[in-house]
Amino acid sequence: MLIQSHDPRPRVGITAVGSLLPEDVLSSDDLQREVARRSGLSLPPRLLTLATGIVSRRVAAPGVYASTLAAGAARRALDAAGLGPMDVDLLVFASASRDVVEPATAHIVQADLGSRAHAVDVTNACNSFVNGIDLARSAILAGRARRALVVTGETPSRAVRTDPADLAEFRAGFAGYTFGDAGAAVVVEAVERGGILDVDSETHSEHWEVGGIPGGGSRHPRGDAYTYFRGDGHELRGVFEKVGTAVVDRTLHRVGMDVDGFAKVLVHQVTVPYLERFAELTGVPSDRLVVTVPELGNVASASIGVQLDRVFGELAPGERVLIVGLGGGISIMTMVWEKS
């Protein structure tokens, strides 16, 4: 489904970025030792590290919530833009994690920041942040907002089961052992040149049951067992490979570019093998990728924001970035952004 063709008028772009990582570091080897100790399972040495390529991840300490990480990243983005909380009239909390089922976590972030913007949550698994940026852009183009702050705070490490009852339960939740926590934020507003040039998406909702956290909704409103991530990482990878690169190919055709023409390619990162397979399928040169997964793990929707924050300052005006979001559900989303 094509959302918006390239070169819209007026232009809307990302003008500032911020991210925040929890201080606590948990290695994959230590996580595996904890699982083995609590479950009594005998696991092959360094299984988590060798299978995923993830050496460590950051984990939020007690008292640190999704909103905490989002608000911290938001302050950094606002500071980078030379703005204050009252300079924003739309606040979008776009995350797979949240503080509570109700109200929208955007209100908790806003209360922390001290802003008075229209506040709303957007959730679409690991594509939430890219969806939030696109929603903010659309609101600005429609004249419904002047300047937006899009934030995410991800704490999926709290959905990891460290005491599986048996190997079957360990395997069912294995994808969860890739998770790490992080926050990210961007300022989105009108720009004179560059900006977001193209957005596209492809959705295959028949695969919605491949992975997720089933608890907290009307299907399973209560029950601790439903609060842990369940999913088959191999099946999810197979679905993405079956869907293929069509949405990326369409995007490249519309903007008239090859993948090696982008200054950077930011893609949601689940594991190292998954990232290597993405590069193989799309032909993205390794020097265009911003690799974070070995040290941070899968930080869900914050992945794109953290990567963007790491390279934002080194990008020159006119350089373009290809963003590729991958989310459970499943959905694939692309965005082409040119630095103003």
For residue 7 the two structure tokens come to 């070169």
* Catalytic site residue from 107, 124, 126, 131: 126
Residue 131 annotated among the catalytic residues of the structure: no
Q: Is 161 helix (H, G, I), strand (E, B) or coil?
A: coil
Q: Does 204 qualify as catalytic in the annotation?
A: no
Angstrom distances, CA of residue 306 to CA of 9, 109, 196: 28, 18, 18
Among all chains, which residue has been given the structure tokens 């694939």? Answer: 332
Catalytic residue (choose from 124, 127, 131, 298): 298
> CA 329 to CA 252: how far, in whole Å?
24
Q: Show the tokens assigned to 240.
A: 């993405």
Helix (H, G, I), strand (E, B) or coil at 16: strand
DSSP 134-192: HHHHHHHHTTS-SEEEEEEEE-GGGG--SS-SSHHHHHHTGGGGGB--EEEEEEEEEES
Quickly tell me which residue has 């692309």 as its tokens.
Answer: 334
Q: Is 124 among the residues known to form the active site? A: no
Q: Which of 107, 127, 207, 268 is catalytic?
A: 268
Is the omega angle on the peptide bond into residue 103 within 30 degrees of 0, that is, cis?
A: yes
Tell me the Ramachandran region of residue 64: left when phi exceeds 0, alpha when psi lies from -120 to 50, beta otherwise: beta
326, 321, 264, 260: which is closest to 291 by C-alpha?
A: 264
Determine the Cα–Cα distance for residues 160 and 170; give it in Å rounded to an integer: 10
Beta bridge partners of 289: 265
Angstrom CA distances, 288 to 63, 67, 268, 276, 307, stand at 37, 31, 14, 13, 12
Contact 10, 190 (CB under 8 A): yes
Tell me which residues are annotated as active site. Answer: 126, 268, 298
